[in-house]
Amino acid sequence: RLLGELAGSRSKHFRHRTLTLLVHHHHNPIAMGLSEPKSYHALPLFGSSLEALALPDEDRRKVVAGLVRHAGAEGFAPGELAKQAAIAPHQEAIVVLVLMIWIGGPLVWSFGGLAALALGSWRLRLGVVALSAVLMFHPMPGPGFQKWLYTSRFTLWLYKYFSYRFVWCDEDYELAGVAPAWVGAG
């Protein structure tokens, strides 16, 4: 019932508190009584540099700590975290092209492949099945790929393209750092 009443509220405050509630780690919002956050923090990931990404883990954490912006219980000013990151036109074009391939490629292949199987010649059907098998069974990138990816220029361009910020309140960042991995939806 309490959540139903809260859902009926349309204030900016409620929407912000909803985000805060979703970020709280291992707390039951009803049992904890919807306490107000005491501090807010924002990490503008698009502000990091390629050199910072390549640092060893401990040094990188120090650089990240220097990028974090803090606000008290009043939170950030309206629009303060809404500024877009500066990105060069060639960086934006590359990000858009890669996202079109990563996101659009499987869609085109799925629907195009189904259309080819339903309406195509036997040769086209065989080609779709063979290419699908190659794509399905080719090896995934090894563990070195992850390190390369998070230290690459492309990662920074993605951060800039989306003006990516990690925003949290109170001690949620520290709690998330020690929490086990999980998959959530909601």
Give DSSP secondary structure letters for 7-38. Answer: HH---HHHHHHHHHHHH-SS--HHHHT-PPPS
Greater model confidence, 140 or 33: 140
The residue with greater pLDDT, 55 or 25, is 55
**What was the pLDDT predicted at 160?**
93
Q: Which two tokens stand for residue 27?
A: 């707390």
Secondary structure (3-state) at 179: coil
* Bridge partner list, 168: 41
pLDDT at position 33 is 52
pTM of this prediction? 0.66
As to burial, measured by CB atoms within 10 angstroms (0-12 exposed, 13-18 middle, 19+ buried), residue 94 is: middle
User: Among all chains, which residue has been given the structure tokens 């939170």?
Assistant: 75
Per the CB < 8 A criterion, the answer to whether 26 and 180 are in contact is no
Question: Residues 152-173: pLDDT tens digits?
Answer: 899 899 999 999 888 888 887 7
User: Under 8 Å CB-to-CB from 84, ≥6 apart: which residues?
Assistant: 163
Q: What is the pLDDT of residues 79-137, one digit of tens each?
A: 888 889 999 999 999 999 999 999 999 999 999 999 999 999 999 999 999 999 998 99
Q: Who wins on pLDDT, 16 or 185?
A: 185
